[in-house]
Amino acid sequence: MNAFRFLGDMTHLFSVLVLLLKIYATKTCSGVSRKTQELYLLVFVARYLDLFTDYISLYNSVMKIVFITSSAAIVWYMRRHPQVRRTYDKEQDTFRHSVLVAATFVLALIFNDRFTFREICWAFSIYLEAVAILPQLVLLQRCRNVDNLTGQYVFFLGAYRAFYILNWIYRYFTEGHHSRWIPWIAGLVQTGLYADFFYYYFLSWKNNVKLELPA
């Protein structure tokens, strides 16, 4: 495992833990899109179905379990916790996430490595992950004033994507494999979605002012 992949995994892990701790400690989830969190839970469950069939490494298995349980915990807090659920911006979080699920599932049925249950689930999870942040980005834009932790959550998620692309470039040159185009294209789309957010995040950091997205 190269350093880019490891840093990507760590920023990914950190983003989820930041969000979970924010919700746990403050008992609020304002500014957090429940739809995005549910999409991520679906992404993790669909992709990590191989947890019990294919063993890669202890590291991989532990990380998979952590990602599934932490995103399930976030969704549970937002749906069930008596205090947290009341702070959810339901009226603002209106993105039609079922459309994303349906569209990416159809895409996975058409473009996959093999037409098997596992491979379709894998391709579906890759496509869905690429667009799962959309409800969150829309919600951030509606709320305008982004609180620090939510901003950091999206920042770390974006950093994870950037590191993964560096990881693929590194692997392309150091390993003899030919690239899989499904994660490449989906990964580039996914990283591109953060470009706008990164720009405003950088500005707010440089000018040392609170992050505010344009309407």
Partner 1 sequence: DCLPAPKDEL
User: Residues interacting with partner 1, by CB under 8 A?
Assistant: 5, 9, 12, 56-57, 60, 63-64, 67, 113, 122, 164, 167, 171, 175-180, 183
Q: How far is the CB of 127 from partner 1 (least distance, A)?
A: 15
Q: Residue 132: which of 112, 103, 91, 110 has the closest Cα? A: 103
Cα separation, 131 vs 127, whole angstroms:
7
Shortest gap between Cβ of 176 and partner 1 (angstroms)? 5
Nearer to partner 1, 57 or 207 (CB): 57
Residue number, 145 or 179, with CB nearest to partner 1: 179
Question: What is the nearest approach in angstroms of partner 1 to the Cβ of residue 144?
Answer: 33
Q: Measured from the CB of residue 138, what is the shortest distance to partner 1 in angstroms?
A: 26
The DSSP element (H or E) to which 163 belongs, if any, is helix 148-174
The CA-atom distances, in angstroms, between 15 and each of 1, 31, 94 are 21, 15, 23
Nearest to partner 1 of 119, 212 (CB atom): 119
Which residue matches tokens 């339901």?
Answer: 90
User: CA-to-CA distance for 127 and 5, rounded, in angstroms?
Assistant: 20
Q: Which two tokens stand for residue 198?
A: 């990164």
Q: Which is nearer to partner 1, 178 or 206 (CB)?
A: 178
